[in-house]
A = this chain, B = another copy of it.
């Protein structure tokens, strides 16, 4: 049987996977429903409404139901993979642990878990948790014996000649890349950035390989596959998504020169919050800092990285400005600490941390 290359199969992915010949494809990339279990509506501080994912396809009645669904599509995906093939799944804390456990139970062999570190995530509007600023991908081979594809040198080249790490900083899919329908509404609630698929396909497929995406959505996998000279087979239930994906992929021109896809890092100096100095134990809470000529002002360091004086509390910059009655202040150079008989600016601690971050 010939594979339906570079096409989108409409309908349930499990049936379609079962219709493909066994051991016939090189890679599976899957972005399954996350089972978010959202509550009511959520408002921003400005009272605007957050457009959450409330689509029916993301709703499951129980973990058991989600597990059943997961194991069924994973088993079907494993069957169509070549023995040396591999699979990627993306998810969030709502579902990724269940997916990961299922992978292991089915005999997949984990190679890496990858953190997609979002440079511009949505904040936590109620101040109830840490900002949920990442998603997790799992990369696994069909089995522990698979001789999987990993383009080590391409990854190193993409990363300024340093080994590519397991955490990838990539922006959300926004702006002109984001598919919009009538009245500017997003076509798909969870469209992934092409940069993410670039990296996945560049790292773990060869030109001409066949990539199956069982939850094709609006076709990011297909668009990037075409661009990179890989074949795709998409599976998707929603005809509207399929239509948008077809139109999108038709516009894609394969790139001749793959080196154009390198994304050199910005090489910006890492921001070091003053709190890190405390957390690292370079200053103890309670330490006294001195500011101004002849140590005119003093302040005490708190465990949360703020300073206190008799009258003020806040960041090193804010308190520095307040005691001087100045509009602004660079706390790193204003405040000094005792070091033996000397007074040393606390900026030396930031230098030390930056050195460790390299």
| A107 and B167 contacting across the interface, CB-CB below 8 Å | no
Oligomer copy total: 2
A4 in the interface (beta carbon within 8 A): no
| B279 and A255 contacting across the interface, CB-CB below 8 Å | no
A43 in the interface (beta carbon within 8 A): yes
| B279 and A260 contacting across the interface, CB-CB below 8 Å | no
Question: Complex: how many Å from CA A9 to CA B157?
Answer: 51
| B104 and A304 contacting across the interface, CB-CB below 8 Å | no
Closest B residue to A193 by beta carbon equals: B280
Residues of chain B lying within 8 A (CB to CB) of residue A167: 115, 117, 133-134, 167
Residues of chain B lying within 8 A (CB to CB) of residue A256: 286
Residues of chain B lying within 8 A (CB to CB) of residue A286: 255-257, 260
A284-B255 contact in complex given A163-B124, A279-B198, C-beta closer than 8 Å: yes
Q: Choose the segment among A15-23, A77-85, A89-97, A211-219 that binds chain B (4+ C-beta atoms closer than 8 Å).
A: A89-97
Closest B residue to A104 by beta carbon equals: B63
A346 in the interface (beta carbon within 8 A): no
Which of these, B121, B195, B315, contacts A281 with CB under 8 Å? B195
A327 in the interface (beta carbon within 8 A): yes
A327-B47 contact in complex given A167-B117, A260-B302, C-beta closer than 8 Å: yes
CB proximity of A259 to chain B, nearest CB, Å: 8
Per-residue CB contact flags for chain A residues 21-50 toward chain B (1 = under 8 Å, else 0) read: 000000000000000000000010001000
Question: Complex: how many Å from CA A107 to CA B131?
Answer: 23
Per-residue CB contact flags for chain A residues 283-323 toward chain B (1 = under 8 Å, else 0) read: 01110000000000000111111101000000100000000
A303-B171 contact in complex given A93-B112, A328-B47, C-beta closer than 8 Å: no
CB proximity of A87 to chain B, nearest CB, Å: 14
A138 in the interface (beta carbon within 8 A): yes
| A96 and B97 contacting across the interface, CB-CB below 8 Å | yes
Residues of chain B lying within 8 A (CB to CB) of residue A339: none
Which of these, B111, B279, B284, contacts A129 with CB under 8 Å? B111
| B195 and A279 contacting across the interface, CB-CB below 8 Å | yes
| A159 and B275 contacting across the interface, CB-CB below 8 Å | yes
A160-B273 contact in complex given A260-B300, A279-B195, A280-B195, C-beta closer than 8 Å: yes
Q: Choose the segment among A148-156, A182-190, A232-240, A242-250 that binds chain B (4+ C-beta atoms closer than 8 Å).
A: A148-156
Known: A157-B275, A157-B304. 5 other contacts (CB 8 A): A133-B167, A136-B136, A169-B270, A260-B286, A260-B302
